Structure 1
């Protein structure tokens, strides 16, 4: 990503410091379902964690491969995630699954399978509420089921109506969709969640500033009192 925009790590660090921001993770993926590529994927993961460590980060968010694979490929993926989690732990990191539409871990059933087939001591869960909901799940219920494995959470609202291939059109600012975020927040409170909670935007219909201001107002008005 830095190469794409011609930005050095030093420049990124300066910009983050200037803006009072902190880099907490990256979206990491690779051919977890292909044993022939596991060595290379692990090497890239270690490089990614070395980069993140420079900025004080200790989370590696892992996206699964594209859908349409066999049950054997799913099992291979899960075995690899245990290896990846072990490699992460050696660097003082946590690695965890990020559910996503169009990928091998999309539905509640697939999340269950992945969680069952990975070691909770090695591989965590970093859910996206919009993808949980659009994938057919109840975000609060799924978060509650795996609250002991939550390493970070992306809050993103969504509506299911007219869900098509371009799911981004089904995502919204917090409070503008159908997800019960107060229920999600109570799960985090009751589970004594103490990690990163990210307000995630796939689309900003009125611009990024307006969207984040709307999300901020929703958080202050609706979610902050839950922790009060």
Structure 2
């Protein structure tokens, strides 16, 4: 049987970047995560929670929350950005270790050409050989820095990034030894890219060391919008409202014996209509009813 610890995260309130106008206060987000019956949370972008480590730990402790880790959402595909990427990695690792987390999630941020073609493999431009080699190198350097402080790096394929489709995931995992980094499989982004999350879980098996559980509204996805426009159109929905086959996912998680965290997410625009806390509660209830977490 799989052993899964469900977690929440600020992304379900639209918090992708710490300085975005309209981000809700951290207290609202942390209260919503705890109110969904969760005991774990990702920290969100560096700078969103209090920067003083003691204050961040106290905010989590007051709500009975433990830290999973956080992400670096940056231009892994652009060699000129790599000094800034590694600086962001160092800042993220400081936040993770200060709060007792264990996961560094590395995500290639959508660029304009790939965001425009998100979910459409046949139309999406691909990285040339030199830029691909540079992307692999910066991931390996980030993973090395993480390992040095006892944190495990995992790569997150993301709609609109240059690691999105299965051939790109395969290529990356072939280039990075399992001893260096794992995979964060996001069910929503797998669905957005036209994949089958259950089949991918079975395929990648032991490389999967972290999960993001989210769902996709197929009608919105199939409109062919650019990634950010699709977010604004609510392409991601509460778990159980969209394309995700919870029964198949649970069966495969049991088959591969997945043991670890699974962060419940629903990417959205800050301040968008709806109730993020209620959506997280609904997602958690459905996941637990399906035997996940």
Structural mapping, 1:105-124, within 5 Å = 105-124=163-182
What CA distance in whole angstroms lies between the structure 2 residues aligned with 1:213 and 1:77?
Answer: 37
Partner of 1:215: 283
Equivalent position to 1:153, from 190, 211, 214: 211
TM-score, normalised with respect to structure 2: 0.69
SS of the aligned residue for 2:177 comes to coil
What CA distance in whole angstroms lies between the structure 2 residues aligned with 1:89 and 1:7?
Answer: 22
Q: 2:187 aligned with 1:187, yes or no? A: no
Structural mapping, 1:79-98, within 5 Å = 79-98=137-156
Larger helix fraction of residues: 1
User: Over residues 69-100 of structure 1, what are the superposed CA-to-partner deviations in whole Å (9 max), with x where a residue is unaligned?
Assistant: 42321222113222222222121111111111
**TM-aligned CA distance change 1:221 to 1:122, over 3 Å:** same
SS of the aligned residue for 2:153 comes to strand
Q: Which has the higher contact order (CA 8 A, sep 6+)?
A: 2
Alignment check: 8 A CA contact 2:50 2:56 kept: no
Equivalent position to 2:264, from 184, 199, 213: 199
Q: 2:91 aligned with 1:23, yes or no? A: no
What CA distance in whole angstroms lies between the structure 2 residues aligned with 1:167 and 1:73?
Answer: 27
Q: Once superposed, what is the RMSD of the aligned Cα atoms?
A: 2.4
Structural mapping, 1:59-78, within 5 Å = 59-65=103-109, 66=111, 67=114, 68=125, 69-78=127-136
Q: Structure 1 stretch 29-38 or stretch 166-175: which is displaced more?
A: 29-38
Q: 2:94 aligned with 1:55, yes or no? A: no
User: Over residues 24-80 of structure 1, what are the superposed CA-to-partner deviations in whole Å (9 max), with x where a residue is unaligned?
Assistant: 122203443444554453343133212211111111000014345423212221132
Partner of 2:28: none
What CA distance in whole angstroms lies between the structure 1 residues aligned with 2:99 and 2:50?
Answer: 19
Larger strand fraction of residues: 2
Number of positions where the alignment pairs a residue of Structure 1 with one of Structure 2: 225
Alignment check: 8 A CA contact 1:205 1:211 kept: no
Structure 1: gaps of 5 or more residues: none
